[in-house]
Amino acid sequence: MNLRRIFAVRVGTIAAAFALCSTAMAAGPTSRYYLTEGDAARLLVVESGAVVDNWTTGSRLLPLAIADTISIYPRSPGFSDGIEFTLDGTPTGVTYPWQAGPTGQLLDGGTDAAAHNFASEWDGGQGIWQFDLDWTNPTRLFPTTIRTIGITYDIADQTLWIAQDGGMIQRVTNDGTVLSQFDPDGEGGRWGALAWEPATDTLWAHRHESDVLRQWDKDGTLLQEVTVPGLVQLPLFIWGGEFQTVIDIDILLGDVNLDGSVNGLDVTPFVDVLLSGIYQAEADVNEDKAVNGLDVVPFVDVILSGGAVRAIPEPTSVVLGAIGLLMLIGRRGHRRYRSPARIPPRTAPSTAID
């Protein structure tokens, strides 16, 4: 079908209830949990409660994004360029130089595996940053009032999770609106290397200066705590952590309201996504990894080309009127996205965290 696109990705297809039960009986993550230890220039792999692999990275590489490959980005300027590895630890030769934008230390990262990587800035401008998949074009999504040491992207809910330094773990939108939150331990502990595990649809994190990992469901219920012998080599610290963030899904281009059809009911949701700055694959009709004014004409073509599975419920005149408004807004959105506003990061003295 010409409206369908497949993301080449993989994720466990175990039903959620069965996954949670089997995970509760397991000791540690059943998927490979990748962790960065920046000062030691190491990437560790934890599975089933043990370190099963590790390899050398560059100095102070912490935020990581994992899809078909592993890409690790510098903590701050002045250290090694970021590096790309295959999933078994072989360097691909691709590197990621530091990009001007963040003024503080980036401790953790994540990816939506479609258009963007993300990183949490602990100090300096102190905020949440979005990058392209090659760690270029940094844009600060929103500032944070409490320092953030962990971040991950939840493909199931299409939202970010962030971990405050000594505070809450929060599910947030791309503008920083808090959708839900929970206290990871009730003790003000520092839980970094935050990671969403696709196979179980749960969250994992590492307790600072320890060998301890914890797993929670997305309501904040603690599912397990596991000690991984030899995980941390003090005084060196783990900050970045991720699972492979990829899934198998069919995308019906233009079906922005996700009802399985492309018709007039998708017009208003498309406008909302276009103006919000949030990426949604169904709205990226020209498939250039961005939702902006360049998607307006392809979206109108999809609406009018007979792609709808069922009849459009609105009168034709209403739909065409909505499309006219959409094209006007799209032209405005096109200008906006060609010259996106940049929020200048705040400057503050930076103290090394590790």
Shortest CA distance to 233 belongs to which of 350, 354, 61, 70? 354
What is the pLDDT, as a whole number, of residue 279? 76
Distances (CA, A) of 288 to 151, 259, 284, 313: 25, 23, 7, 30
pLDDT of residue 353: 54
User: Which pLDDT score, from 0 to 100, does residue 282 have?
Assistant: 86
Q: How many whole angstroms separate alpha carbon 144 and alpha carbon 135?
A: 21
User: Residue 281 sits in which domain range?
Assistant: 253-338
Please tell me the predicted confidence (pLDDT) of residue 324: 61
Residue type for position 129: W
221 and 286 belong to one structural domain:
no
Domain boundary among 181, 216, 242: 242
8 Å CB contact between 213 and 226: yes
For residue 345, is it within any domain?
A: no
Same domain (yes/no): 121, 14: yes
pLDDT of residue 134: 94
Nearest to 191 by CA among 171, 172, 166, 211: 166
**Domain assignment of residue 96, yes or no:** yes
Q: What is the mean pLDDT, run by run of 10 residues, along the chain of 354 residues? A: 37 37 61 88 90 87 92 89 92 94 93 93 91 95 94 92 95 94 92 93 93 95 93 81 76 85 90 83 84 90 64 44 56 38 35 48
What pLDDT does residue 329 have?
55
State how far the Cα of 318 lies from the Cα of 226, in Å rounded to an integer.
58
Reading phi first (left if > 0) and then psi (alpha if -120 to 50, else beta), residue 230 is in left
CB atoms within 10 A of CB 242: 30
Considering the domain architecture, whether residues 146 and 265 belong to the same structural domain is answered as: no
Whether 276 and 236 map to the same domain: the answer is no
pLDDT at 252 (0 to 100): 84
One DSSP character per residue, 30-57 reads SS-EEEEETTTTEEEEEETTEEEEEEE-
- pLDDT score for 188: 87
Q: What is the pTM of this model?
A: 0.67
Same domain, 113 and 219: yes
Residue with tokens 């392809």: 298
